């Protein structure tokens, strides 16, 4: 199903060359006013058009052949801009620097802190303009003791920085479109098999920022329905973490998003 990874370890290069596998890095930033940014860079993102279908049809593609950058900008809780851009196959060295198209993602750790620097330069489909910008994130580097001993064929979820703060600036054709500063979160997700083969029918992820900690959860619905399993973590500013094995999710009625995704109207986590 899902396992917790070691934040001090790099991605196993074998993941990038295993047909149907995936690796994505995730960042979100939210301001006190509720504006936000989500940024994902990946190899073999399971949600790319045709990627999962190819695996289901017996023609899985190695992740290294499908690099992409995904960005969503929100104003007042509403999506204002969305970009999912694929790029030609790009090399992956296993280091803390990834270059995908004109975008650069550089991560370093020192003194229990994680620093992420991002430079963006993306073409915009249907336009001669380019989306450019930068993001800088700094936060607590989680204790590697959170890692599970045996990953097996699991989806490996690895928090890399939380609690964190970040600043982000975006320009479209040289015109400013966003200047954000706020609470942030950064993680990584990897798998050696297609996401739909990892023992859950659907999933949901979220985080609750509190003054003293970040509380993050994954909900995993079993293939045959029933109550979702809930995996929860509390991440503290000093890097210490606490797993919540008895966490139970109480969900309200479901609705569908604009893009057809199911999501609950309400969520309460109880331990």
Residue 226 lies in a domain: no
Residue 223 lies in a domain: no
**Sign of torsion over alpha carbons 161, 110, 136, 127:** negative
In 101-154, beta strands by DSSP E: 103-110, 113-123, 130-140
Residue 53: strand, helix, or coil: helix
Q: Of 77-91, 169-183, 234-248, 254-268, give the range with the top mean pLDDT.
A: 169-183
Residue 201 has pLDDT above 90, yes or no: no
Residue 165 lies in a domain: yes
Residue 248 has pLDDT above 80, yes or no: no
The pLDDT tens digits of the residues spanning 136-163 come to 999 999 988 878 766 566 788 899 999 9
Residue 49 lies in a domain: yes
- Number of domains the chain contains: 1
Cα gap 175→178, rounded to integer Å: 9
Question: Residue 90: which CATH number?
Answer: 2.40.370.10
pLDDT, position 256: 62
Residue 223 has pLDDT above 90, yes or no: no
pLDDT, position 70: 97
Residue with tokens 């998003």: 257
Residue with tokens 């006190």: 32
Host domain of residue 175 = 2-196
Residue 130 lies in a domain: yes
Residue 190 lies in a domain: yes
User: Percent of the chain having pLDDT more than 70?
Assistant: 92
Calculate the average pLDDT of the chain: 88
Burial of 218 (0-12, 13-18, 19+ CB in 10 A): buried
Of the candidates 34, 109, 27, the residue with the CA atom closest to the CA atom of residue 69:
27
Residue 252 lies in a domain: no
Residue 253 banded pLDDT, cuts 50, 70, 90: low
Residue 248 lies in a domain: no
């Amino acid at each position: 199903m899902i396992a917790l990874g070691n934040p001090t370890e790099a991605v196993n290069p074998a993941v990038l060359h295993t047909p149907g596998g995936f690796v994505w890095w995730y960042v979100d930033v939210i301001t006190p006013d509720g504006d936000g940014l989500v940024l994902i860079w990946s190899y073999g993102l399971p949600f790319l058009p045709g990627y999962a279908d190819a695996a289901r049809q017996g023609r899985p593609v190695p992740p290294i052949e499908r690099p992409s950058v995904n960005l969503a900008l929100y104003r007042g809780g509403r999506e204002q801009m969305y970009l999912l851009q694929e790029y030609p196959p790009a090399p992956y060295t296993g280091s803390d620097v990834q270059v995908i198209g004109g975008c650069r993602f550089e991560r370093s750790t020192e003194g229990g802190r994680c620093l992420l620097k991002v430079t963006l330069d993306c073409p915009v489909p249907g336009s001669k303009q380019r989306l450019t910008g930068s993001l800088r994130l700094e936060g607590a580097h989680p204790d590697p003791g959170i890692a599970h001993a045996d990953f097996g064929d699991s989806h490996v979820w690895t928090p890399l920085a939380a609690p964190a703060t970040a600043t982000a600036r975006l320009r479209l054709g040289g015109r400013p479109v966003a200047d954000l500063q706020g609470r942030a979160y950064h993680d990584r997700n990897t798998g050696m098999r297609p996401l739909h083969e990892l023992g859950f029918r659907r999933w949901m992820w979220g985080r609750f920022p509190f003054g003293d900690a970040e509380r993050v959860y994954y909900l995993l619905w079993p293939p045959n329905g029933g109550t979702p399993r809930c995996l929860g973590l509390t991440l503290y500013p000093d890097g210490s973490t606490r797993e919540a094995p008895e966490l139970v999710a109480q969900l309200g009625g479901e609705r569908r998003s604009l893009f057809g995704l199911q999501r609950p109207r309400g969520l309460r986590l109880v331990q």
